[in-house]
Chain A
Amino acid sequence: MKKIYVDYEKCVACKACETACAIEQHPSHNLFGLLGDKKTQINVRVLAVEHEAFPVSCRHCEPAWCMDACPSGAISRDSETGAVILNPDRCKACAMCAMVCPFDAISFKETHRSKYGRDVAYKCDLCNDRVRSHELPACVAACHSGALSFREHDQLRRDQAVKNLRVYLLGEEKLPKNFELYRELRRKEFARRSGEK
């Protein structure tokens, strides 16, 4: 199956993925529809760790521990896309899934999909409808810097291996110069701020 991969060295923490996800998940499918709406659901989160930043979300694990822990039949896997899908109509927000998710990828609140006026679990659905119609997940489509990609794991590994060889044998650039400079800047800025603290 294709999955969303993160090249954290290329993430510039612009949060375009978060915005695109929120729009995709919102019934209005419109940026302005989100404003001031407490039920807005965002399934990806750009996390800053020291001078690095990267989006984190559900990894659609196989086996998926959340799925094995769900006692209400709310979590299933799409046999076509492999996405781990949470059905809010069946979810009782009991947190069995969140209790075992190693990536803190499941959150709770009253979303637009809540049927009974209470909180439900929500997580990335891999933009399953988009993927089924051969589109990219919204976050990947929105990523300007190339940090997010949607691909097969084997292909990713092969490409990575070829690229590493080219860097090693031919002395090619690992990252474009502008990324290197940006990363250098972030490192220094982070060091300066840490010093201040």
Chain B
Amino acid sequence: MKIVTIGTGMAAAEFVDVLRKEGSQDEIVMLGDEPFPPYSPCVIPFFLAGEPLSTVYWKGESFYRNKGVTAVLDSAVAEVDAEKHMVRLNNGRTENYDRLFFATGARSWYPQPQWLETNGVFGFKTLTDMLAIDDYIQEHATRRVVVFGGGFIGVDAALALWHRGLEVILVHRNTRVLSQMTDEDGGVFATRKLREITGIDVRLKTTVTDIDVRDGVLRGVEMSNGDSVDTTMLIVAIGVSPNSEPLVGNDRGVVVDETLRYDPHIYVAGDVAVTPHALTGEPGIYATYPNAMLQARTAVRHLLHGDATYNGSINTNVLKKHIDFPIISAGTFEGDPVTWQNQHLFRRVYLQNGKINGYQLIGDTRVSGYIYNLYCSQVRVDKIIAPILADNRGDSYYRSLMGFSQGQLG
């Protein structure tokens, strides 16, 4: 059997890794649009912050050779012909498959794609982006950067470049950064703390509307509030869209069945797959690493043994980069909020029928694993949750285990 993966990202690498661990001797071809071994997108910003490039290759730099894989790199996929079991690449080459693993991930979405033609304007998604940014900073001795977009990737970019010593201006159209991971109160708290800890200049309710270019190089940006800033570097990180066009003809992701298949011969996983939420059933793209891993492993099990089902994704995520200030969030922020906060921490869960529907834990990780378990297991917590949120000793799990009431003594 010939197995082809489209993508060399985390889902595809895990898929191939597990296939080999399970003893598969099949011919495997991995198609990638970048020239690298599999790398971790979560890790690549640390390269910009000064850490070695080798650490981004989370499964090793000799992955393709070690796994006995034919890697066809630097070539994007144009389309999948599901009837003929064939993949057509942009360079005209074709590849036949018996089983296809479609894990193309997502790409940056740009409001003004022509901005990218200017030297000094970058996306912040791929290792190619990181290497280009690194080269540019060294070449132009860049001191100041404007990051447009205050979502996960934008904040990630801002912190990495702040860590490198650049002056960072973070421009975001919402009332708070990380507006998808937080509600208004949590996000405002997180934004204030990020400003305090890093000194990053966060400009809210603002967008970058135009760029100032001289001799093909960026000189400044203009913002919706009328401000203009001199800068030779702009990072655009205002959103991503899934690379689902080669398979379904649009960028809305690929809907899969409970075996993660699009058709009997095509598995789909990672940031391009539309899967149900494990607790609510709500279909969506739940683009986090643990979901991609579980999907890849489920696909291997199904491919080799024919009996695996995917139970759904969990939308939990954490942003803790370069500073000791984690921002954790999961679920949806609907229901009755229960909040605990002090000067340094903000913790809130949303309850529906007494069960956790969503949560934010900002400032530390102390109770996060316990809350994650209470969320995943969907047990009733309305009578016990308030003291758990106030737990600063990490004893609330053991209290419940030993049958003590929660948090009578501090």
B:76-124 near A, CB below 8 Å: none
Contacts of B402 in A (CB 8 A): 49-50, 52
B151 to chain A, nearest CB (A): 16
A41 to chain B, nearest CB (A): 15
Q: Given A49-B402, A98-B365, do A72 and B322 touch, yes or no (CB 8 Å)?
A: no
What total of A-B pairs shows CB separation below 8 Å?
107
The answer to whether A116 touches B51, judged by C-beta atoms less than 8 angstroms apart, is yes
Contacts of B365 in A (CB 8 A): 95, 98-99, 104, 106, 108
The answer to whether A99 touches B316, judged by C-beta atoms less than 8 angstroms apart, is yes
B344 to chain A, nearest CB (A): 15
Q: Mark A38-64, 1 if CB is under 8 A from B, else 0.
A: 000000010111101010100000000
Contacts of B398 in A (CB 8 A): 47, 49, 54, 56
Name the residue on A nearest B408 (C-beta): A194
Most B CB contacts (10 A, CB to CB) among A45, A102, A108 go to: A102
Q: Given A102-B369, A104-B370, do A73 and B59 touch, yes or no (CB 8 Å)?
A: yes
Contacts of B353 in A (CB 8 A): none
The answer to whether B322 touches A118, judged by C-beta atoms less than 8 angstroms apart, is yes
Q: Mark A93-116, 1 if CB is under 8 A from B, else 0.
A: 111101111111010110000001
In the complex, which range does the number of interface residues on chain B fall in? Answer: 35 or more
A89 lies within 8 A of chain B by Cβ? yes
Q: Given A95-B328, A96-B318, do A73 and B40 touch, yes or no (CB 8 Å)?
A: yes
Give the number of residues in A that approach B within 8 Å (Cβ atoms): 35
> What is the bound-complex CA distance between A115 and B408, given in angstroms?
41
A94 to chain B, nearest CB (A): 6
B:26-52 near A, CB below 8 Å: 40-43, 46, 50-51
> What is the bound-complex CA distance between A197 and B365, given in angstroms?
29
> What is the bound-complex CA distance between A13 and B42, given in angstroms?
40
> What is the bound-complex CA distance between A109 and B364, given in angstroms?
12
Contacts of A98 in B (CB 8 A): 318, 326, 365, 368-369
Q: Given A98-B365, A101-B369, do A197 and B409 touch, yes or no (CB 8 Å)?
A: yes
B366 lies within 8 A of chain A by Cβ? yes
The answer to whether A47 touches B394, judged by C-beta atoms less than 8 angstroms apart, is yes
The answer to whether B293 touches A99, judged by C-beta atoms less than 8 angstroms apart, is no
Q: Which of B290, B367, B399, B408 contacts A96 (CB 8 A)?
A: B290
Q: Given A72-B42, A92-B43, do A102 and B370 touch, yes or no (CB 8 Å)?
A: yes
A4 lies within 8 A of chain B by Cβ? no
> What is the bound-complex CA distance between A11 and B40, given in angstroms?
43
A188 lies within 8 A of chain B by Cβ? no
The answer to whether B324 touches A108, judged by C-beta atoms less than 8 angstroms apart, is yes
B290 to chain A, nearest CB (A): 5
> What is the bound-complex CA distance between A71 and B270, given in angstroms?
13
The answer to whether B59 touches A104, judged by C-beta atoms less than 8 angstroms apart, is no
> What is the bound-complex CA distance between A195 and B334, given in angstroms?
40
A151 lies within 8 A of chain B by Cβ? no
The answer to whether A49 touches B395, judged by C-beta atoms less than 8 angstroms apart, is yes
> What is the bound-complex CA distance between A118 and B322, given in angstroms?
8
Contacts of A93 in B (CB 8 A): 320, 324
> What is the bound-complex CA distance between A49 and B10, given in angstroms?
42
The answer to whether B50 touches A116, judged by C-beta atoms less than 8 angstroms apart, is yes
> What is the bound-complex CA distance between A45 and B394, given in angstroms?
10
A125 lies within 8 A of chain B by Cβ? no
The answer to whether A49 touches B42, judged by C-beta atoms less than 8 angstroms apart, is no
Name the residue on A nearest B293 (C-beta): A68
The answer to whether A103 touches B369, judged by C-beta atoms less than 8 angstroms apart, is yes
> What is the bound-complex CA distance between A68 and B294, given in angstroms?
8
The answer to whether B393 touches A71, judged by C-beta atoms less than 8 angstroms apart, is no
B407 to chain A, nearest CB (A): 11
> What is the bound-complex CA distance between A50 and B393, given in angstroms?
12
The answer to whether A72 touches B58, judged by C-beta atoms less than 8 angstroms apart, is yes
> What is the bound-complex CA distance between A68 and B291, given in angstroms?
10
A-B CB contact pairs (8 Å), 7 listed: A47-B398, A49-B395, A71-B43, A72-B40, A73-B40, A94-B320, A99-B369
Using a CB–CB cutoff of 8 Å, the interface residues on chain A facing chain B are 45, 47-50, 52, 54, 56, 68-69, 71-73, 89-90, 92-96, 98-104, 106, 108-109, 116, 118-119, 194, 197
